[in-house]
Structure formats: C-alpha cells, structure tokens
Structure 1
Amino acid sequence: MIKAVIFDMDGVIVDSEPLHHKAYQNMFKDVGIKVSDALYESYTGQATLPICQHLCKTFNLTESPETLMAIKRKHFKYLFDNDNSFTLIDGVLELIQDYHNNDLKLVLASSASMPNINRIFNRFSLNQYFIAKLSGADLKASKPHPEIFINAAKASGFKREECVVIEDSTNGIKAANAAGIYSIAFDSKHSKNQDYSTANKVITDFMEIRYNKIKNVLK
C-alpha cells in the first residue's frame, strides 16, 4: 500500500518550462551561443549548474558555469514576477489535496533551486500539504542520478518500496528506476520528446491516479 508520494515540480505541479525556456534563451544570447532544440531537450529534468557546466565545456566559454547560472536565474526571476499566465497544471492541486486528505506523506523532489521551489510554493500556498522539499541543486549529482529520490524517500519516513514518484522527464523516470521506486510518468501537452518506456505507469490526466485508484498499486 502506498504510504508516500514524491512529486517532481516542473512539468508536474507547474508548467514553468516556458519560463525556463525563455530564461535560458536569454542567457544563451547574453553569452553568444546557439543551442539546438535537441541539445536543449536533453537537459530536461537536470539542475541548472550541470547544464551550465556542460554548456561551458561544449561551447568553450570563458564565463564560469556559476556565471551562466546567475544570468539564467536573473532572467527567470524577472519572468516569474511579471508573467501572470503562470499557473498550476490542471488537476494537480486536487490530486495533492486528495492524497493529503488520505494521509499520504508528500515530498517534493525537484531539480529546481530551493529559492525557485519556495517562490512557487509560496505563490500557490503548497507548503501546507508537503512534509519536505528537496532541491537537486543542493546535491552533487543531478537526475538521472537517483540520489534525490533516495533522500526524498528517507524524508518521507517510509521505505522506497512504499513510495511512488510522479515525474514528467526521461531523466526523472531513470532516477526513480535507479532508486528502486515505483514511477508514474505524466505524459502531458507540456512534455516534449521524453521517453517513458521504463516507467511503471504512464498517465495523461491526474484523475487516473487519484488515491482510490492507486492506493493498492504497490504489492
């Protein structure tokens, strides 16, 4: 029986990808590089620092990864504060409330930085539902490394075999698999060119995983 649910944030709770995309594109312009769509999509689910490290190495940039990261975050903060169309993904608040009302422990495990996580959780009043929030930016290894999900399971107070992960990226599903945690892939209109072939379950609507429908999915 499920005891805890570990949520990814970008693409699952909020569709901040358009804001991230704009912020990255602005940063690319600032440092004078052209990043292909294929390369950009390969970064989905990874933290900002390893992305910037890869960019510096790929394009032989003189700027440091930390400088690129600061530029990108400056652009993102501006967009976050000024884009009124930024909202929760349809149905996710009802899902979070459903799990919370059924006494599941909820943990956030996102590659986003903690300032961005807190900004989103404060904006949408989500702190009341989650017992812990983990940022991949604070870890040595980014998804698809399983560290963040291993730590999230520990934070829930339950065994990994009693948890499920809800993810929308190839790297996130790989990380959940490597951690030995049941993975649910959310294949939405916001997901682009992601591989869910190794997920335990694939959904297109959060109604498919309401508590009564998945409470016994773990044997």
Structure 2
Amino acid sequence: MLKAVLFDMDGVIVDTEPLHRKAYHQMFNDVSIDVNEDLYASFTGQSTINICKRLVDHFNLNETPEYLVSLKREHYKIFFENGDLQLIDGVLERIKDYHANDVTLVVASSASMLGIKQIFERFDLNQYFSGKFSGADLEKSKPHPEIFIKAAEFTGFKKSECMVIEDSTNGIKAAHSAGIFCTGFKSKHSSGQDYSLANKVVSSFEEISYSKIVNIIS
C-alpha cells in the first residue's frame, strides 16, 4: 500500500530545464568550451558539482569544478529571478491529493538545496512536504541510488511502501537500483530519456491519482 512518494523536482514538479540550459551554456561560453547535445543530455539528473567535475576532466580545464559551479549558479540566479516559471500541469492537484490521503511526501532532487528552497517558497509547497533531499549534499549523484535510499529511510516506511516519480534516465536508474517502485513521468519537458527501467510510465499526473495507484504499490 502506498505510504510515501519521493518526487524528483526538475521536470516533475517544475520545468526549470530551460533556465538551467541557458545558465549552463552561458557558463560554457565563459570558459570557452563546446558542449554538444549528446554530452549535455547525459547530464540530466546529475548534480551540478558532478557535472562540473566531468567537464573539467573531459575538457582538461584549468578551472576548478567549484568555480564552474559558481559561474553556473550566478547565471541561473539571474534567469530564475527574471524567468516565467510554472508548475508542471497537474502536479499541484496530485500533491494535494496525496497529502489529503496522508501520504508522506519528500522531494529528492539533484538540484542544490538553495534551488529546491527557492522553488518551494515561490510556489508555497512546504506545507505539503515532510522532507527535502539535495543530491548536491550527498557523496554520490544519480544514477547512484543514495538519494532515494536516504529519502525512503527518512519517511520511516518500507521501500515497498514508497514510490518515486522521475523523468530522467539517471533518476529512473537510481530508483531502480534503490529497489523502489518508480513511475517514469514522460512529458514534453523530458525528451530523449530512457524509461525502460520504470515500473510504470505515464504522461499525465491523472494516471497516478491516489485512488489509482494506492494498491499497486505492495
């Protein structure tokens, strides 16, 4: 029986990808590197610090990963403050649905904790969620399962009573490796991702309303 839902944030709760893309590409320009689409797509679901470590290694940069992170975050801050952000269609209704049915909600995102808090304050989501986990604060990034293992432990429920909602290849791999039921959310905001390891694939939050999903989790 469903007792807890572990939400990814980017692409599931809110579509910040366009802002992140602009911030990353501005940072790429700052350090004069050419990141092709295949390489950029492989970053989806990973923390900023791990992405920047990969960039330093891949391009043999003299700059530190931490410096790249600072550049990217400064650009993102500007875009975030001036951008037009909206919640993903149907997600607020589903969050309220789960919360009303006493399901424990936790966000488990590769975004920084600052980024998570910015989104939660902007859209008044704190009232529904019991916990927040940032992959940037952990040793391992998705597709490593650490973030979902810790988030599930936080709820106090068995992994068999939890569900992850993810939209990225790396996030789905992480949930699968953690041994937690994973719903792959396939939308216009998450193209080019692999959903083959997801237990269920949906394109609308209506498909995973509490009444429809509560007894699938066992």
Q: Give TM-score, length-normalised by structure 2.
A: 0.99
C-alpha distance after superposition, 1:77-119 (max 9, x if no partner): 1100011x21111100000000000000000000000000000
Where does residue 101 of structure 1 map in the other structure? 100
1:20 shift after superposition: 0.2
The match for 1:61 is 61
Query: How far apart, CA to CA, are the structure 1 residues paired with 2:154 and 2:97?
Result: 20
- Once the two structures are TM-superposed, the CA of residue 155 in structure 1 deviates from its matched residue by 1.0
**Which residue number corresponds to residue 145 of structure 2?**
146
Runs of 4 or more, structure 1, over 3 Å off, are none
In the alignment, the residues of structure 2 paired with residue 57 and residue 147 of structure 1 have an alpha-carbon distance, to the nearest angstrom, of 23
| Distance of 1:95 and 1:79 partners within structure 2 | 28
Following superposition, the deviation at residue 154 of structure 1 comes to 0.9
* Partner amino acid, structure 2, of 1:73: R
Between the aligned residues of both structures, percent identity stands at 63
2:39 is matched with 39
Aligned equivalents of 1:215 and 1:59: distance in 2?
Answer: 47
The alignment status of 1:217 with 2:216, answered yes or no, reads yes
Q: Secondary structure at the match of 1:133?
A: strand
Distance in 2 separating the partners of 1:75 and 1:192 = 24
Provide, for residues 31-88 of structure 1, a one-character-per-residue CA deviation record: whole Å limited to 9, x for no partner: 00010000000000000001000000100111000000000000001100011x2111
Match of 2:140, SS? coil
Q: Distance in 2 between matches of 1:91 and 1:36?
A: 33
AA at the equivalent of 1:169: S
Cα offsets for 1:110-159 (capped at 9, x unmatched): 00000000000000000000000000000010000000000000111111
**Length, aligned pairs only:** 218
Q: Which residue of 1 aligns with 2:110?
A: 111
| 1:218 Cα deviation after fit | 1.6
Amino acid at match of 1:9: M
For residues 130-209 of structure 1, the aligned pairs below 5 Å read: 130-209=129-208
Q: Gapped runs of 5+ residues in structure 1?
A: none
C-alpha deviation, 1:212, in angstroms: 0.4
Letter of the 1:181 counterpart: I
Match of 2:20 in 1: 20
Distance of 2:194 and 2:89 partners within structure 1? 22
Give the aligned residue type for 1:48: T
State the TM-score, normalized to the length of structure 1. Answer: 0.99
SS at match of 1:173: helix
Partners in 2 of 1:123 and 1:218 — Cα distance? 31
2: distance between equivalents of 1:166 and 1:22?
25
SS across alignment from 1:188: coil
Partner of 2:3: 3
